[in-house]
Structure 1
Amino acid sequence: MQIAAPAAILPFRRPGRPPGPILLSPPELTGAEGAEFQALLDSGWLAPAGPTLERFEAAVGAAAGFGHVLATASATAALSLAFRVLGVAPGDEVWAPTLTFVATIAPAVQLGATPRFLDVDPAHWTLDPGLLDAELAAAARRGRLPRCVVSVDLYGQPADIPALRRACDRWGVPLVSDSACALGAAQHGGPAGQGATLAVLSFNGNKIVTAGGGGALLSADAALVARARHLATQAREKAAHYEHLELGSNLAMSAVLAAVGLAQLPALEARVAARRALHARYRRALPGFGWQEEPAWARSSRWLSVLLAEDRERLRLALAAAGIESRPAWKPMHLQPAFRGAPCAGGAVATEVFARGLCLPSGGAMTEREVARVVAAIAAA
């Protein structure tokens, strides 16, 4: 069976193409996806197993700085497995920053946990280590420590893992890093998420490196990943027949997605550099706005460039009228109807980011003409 050669795959944009919509974070192709897919077809391994999946897991581990990797059907699946292997159960609390996407906390709630939300640092918008430390000390006095804490590498900006880990280790609380948007980012001289008990990545279609979907669960602890792998493959015991001592799920990544991801990973550094350069161009061209700041100890992947505007909605509508996609910053979890009544420590910073934050088109393949269109539309709004 033959598939179209990579050259036959249309690029996302062609030089000379009439101006069209500018999307927020469109997928990019390397040209090697076809060859990887053909190799997979030739191997006959189309199940969520086999050498292609193993190669992908090894490549992700090398890129992300973790020794043990499980490729999953989605980042949400990886988070669900993380909570399960850490023993999250009804009656437990799981803490997370309030400024995030719902998938950070939803799998824990679906396991019966109670969410508790914390505010973020006012400069880089990731979980505030000082607030976490104080809240954990107060929880210890109450005799009600969380089962785990989840940090989030927001828009590709890494959280301060060493500081968060110190706060958690003081009380023996595991730290999970939701690094879904931060592959290729760095903190304290290592990759984003490194140092957490478990970390999660996403390979969704809008990410810097995509497999068309899928995710990964990573850890330095081999036993945790082995346990997650067991649960992700229906928790089948080693026996000639089908034997189950507990219930698992089918959460492993397809080898088809892994083949696409393998073709994408070599482009990671170049794509991060392109998005960082785009972010720098935005800041030079739009000096009157605030931005998500990058601390000295971090290198953001700049998955999305986010500015702060006094009238965010007017600006968003002006961009939409010009055929330019943008998106408000995440609505904080403590303001979501689904979490009405959930406790939240602070929240003013996250609320302000939501009120003023706007995610701009951030694709690494944007042309100078497209960047100029975005800047002009903002300037004219």
Structure 2
Amino acid sequence: MNETIPLCVPSVGIAEEAAVSMALRSGWVAPAGPQVDAFEAELAELTERPAAVSVSSGTAALHLSLLAAGISAGDEVAVATLTFAATANAVAYIGATPVFIDCDESGLMSPELLRLALSERAAAGRPIRAVVPVDVYGRPVDHPAIAEAARDFGAIVVADAAESIGARLGGRPAGSFGDFAALSFNGNKIITTSSGGAVLCPDTDAAEYVRYLATQARQPVPHYEHTEIGYNYRLSNILAALGSAQLARLPEILRAKRSIYEAYRNMAERLDGVSVLDAAEGNCWMNALILDSEQDAAEMARNLAEVGIETRPVFKPMHLQPVHSGSDPSYITGRAEDLFRRGIVLPSSTDLSAEQIHRVTDAVTAACTSRSRV
């Protein structure tokens, strides 16, 4: 039997090993040091931001971004419903309430629905304080339209760019949009620090406040003094070294990811009843196959599993999650749910070999051919 092709595993090699070894030998093993400083400077340059603060996870980055943006308990925050749980969790950590916004045909937050939510909430005397759009599967949302809507109603934008580093939109890099933006470097992301993330800030003052919150909000005095609640959200110097080595390889990783997407797109164009979510200017982090029906998607997943190919459903929307069962459905149209029902994510590891890609495309093609004969 063929070896299982996993969904998405990190690509690390000699360069990463050398960088981590150098950091270890330097003696900087704490969550501070020259590799942290260098990694943050590289991230700021890549995303065209004044400053970046590296932290322990993408979830921590979202949490700190919202805090630095002034969001507090009782506030309402517009959140893309088609996303991973961390986006909504960060809002809940603060005691704020997520208002879920459905997607358009692209699977990304609908600017029209967002504007409707902002308008209706403002008219009702319950203005939405912040907007959290999500670059789902590494594809940037329509940030200019979202920024315009947010600006018209006085809302702050915290962009969830956890999945989109290396992507572009209209010539601008992912992460450059929003008042704040959050990145993730989890093990399956486009680049990884094993675990980790970063807050991309509008200015150096904001960055200093984020850094202060991430280091237990300790006051600058000789003893331990705290005037507000802080968090232990720092990134280790060793992991930052890994991140810098990964960043140096980002162009190579992006080329590999794009070639996988093109192989899947070319396959889908030859088949009836399937399509691949358009990557546009995204980084092709993950590739989602959309089938005609929920039954077709479930059958495809079973067929691929039988031949050792791992898949996963498209994100289950937040408004369908039991933990958010009481959420307001006013801005839900069913588009995100439809993608969840009919979509499966195909293997998208950077280091997929040509043989593995052929195994996937051949298996999908065989399953579609078999279905058409029934």
Please confirm whether the aligned pair reaches a TM-score higher than 0.5, indicating the same fold.
yes
Q: Which residue of 1 aligns with 2:370?
A: none
Conserved 8 A contact 1:185-1:191: yes
Given candidates 303, 308, 316, the residue that maps to 1:323 is 308
**2:85 maps to 1:85:** no
Flag structure 2 segments of 5+ consecutive residues without an equivalent: 368-374
Partner SS, residue 9 of structure 2: coil
Q: For residues 362-381 of structure 1, what are the structure 2 equivalents within 5 Å?
A: 362-381=348-367
Greater shift, 349-358 or 132-141, is seen at 132-141
**2:30 maps to 1:20:** no
Partner SS, residue 104 of structure 2: coil
- The size of the alignment, in residue pairs, is 360
* Cα distance, 1:219 vs structure 2: 1.7
Partner SS, residue 172 of structure 1: coil
Flag structure 1 segments of 5+ consecutive residues without an equivalent: 1-17
* Cα distance, 1:19 vs structure 2: 4.0
Tell me how far apart the structure 2 counterparts of residues 294 and 362 of structure 1 sit (CA, whole Å): 13
Tell me how far apart the structure 2 counterparts of residues 141 and 223 of structure 1 sit (CA, whole Å): 33
Conserved 8 A contact 1:61-1:68: yes
**2:101 maps to 1:115:** no
Q: For residues 178-257 of structure 1, what are the structure 2 equivalents within 5 Å?
A: 178-257=160-239
Tell me how far apart the structure 2 counterparts of residues 125 and 38 of structure 1 sit (CA, whole Å): 41
Cα deviation 1:111-160 (Å, max 9, x = unaligned): 211111011121x2111112111221111111111221100000000011
Given candidates 327, 332, 337, the residue that maps to 1:342 is 327
Partner SS, residue 218 of structure 1: strand
Q: Relative to 1, partners in 2 of residues 1:304 and 1:294: Cα closer, same or farther, differing over 3 Å?
A: closer
Greater shift, 48-57 or 28-37, is seen at 28-37
Conserved 8 A contact 2:2-2:307: no
Cα deviation 1:262-298 (Å, max 9, x = unaligned): 1111111121121111111111122231221245xxx
What is the identity, as a one-letter code, of the residue corresponding to 1:341?
G
**2:112 maps to 1:126:** no
**2:53 maps to 1:73:** no
* Cα distance, 1:194 vs structure 2: 1.5
**2:13 maps to 1:33:** no
What is the identity, as a one-letter code, of the residue corresponding to 1:153?
D
Cα deviation 1:321-380 (Å, max 9, x = unaligned): 111111000001111101002013023110110010110001122111111111121122
Tell me how far apart the structure 1 counterparts of residues 218 and 323 of structure 2 sit (CA, whole Å): 34
Tell me how far apart the structure 1 counterparts of residues 17 and 139 of structure 2 sit (CA, whole Å): 32
Tell me how far apart the structure 2 counterparts of residues 286 and 127 of structure 1 sit (CA, whole Å): 25
Q: How many percent identity over aligned positions?
A: 40
* Cα distance, 1:30 vs structure 2: 3.8
**2:289 maps to 1:307:** yes
Q: Which residue of 2 aligns with 1:15?
A: none
Tell me how far apart the structure 2 counterparts of residues 66 and 359 of structure 1 sit (CA, whole Å): 31
Tell me how far apart the structure 2 counterparts of residues 189 and 220 of structure 1 sit (CA, whole Å): 19
Conserved 8 A contact 2:79-2:131: yes
Runs of 4+ in 1 over 3 A off after TM superposition: none
Tell me how far apart the structure 2 counterparts of residues 211 and 181 of structure 1 sit (CA, whole Å): 14
Conserved 8 A contact 1:161-1:193: no
Tell me how far apart the structure 1 counterparts of residues 88 and 325 of structure 2 sit (CA, whole Å): 14
Conserved 8 A contact 1:76-1:107: yes
Q: For residues 266-281 of structure 1, what are the structure 2 equivalents within 5 Å?
A: 266-281=248-263
Partner SS, residue 32 of structure 1: helix
What is the identity, as a one-letter code, of the residue corresponding to 2:355?
R
Tell me how far apart the structure 1 counterparts of residues 335 and 156 of structure 2 sit (CA, whole Å): 25
TM-score using structure 1 length:
0.92
What is the identity, as a one-letter code, of the residue corresponding to 2:153?
W
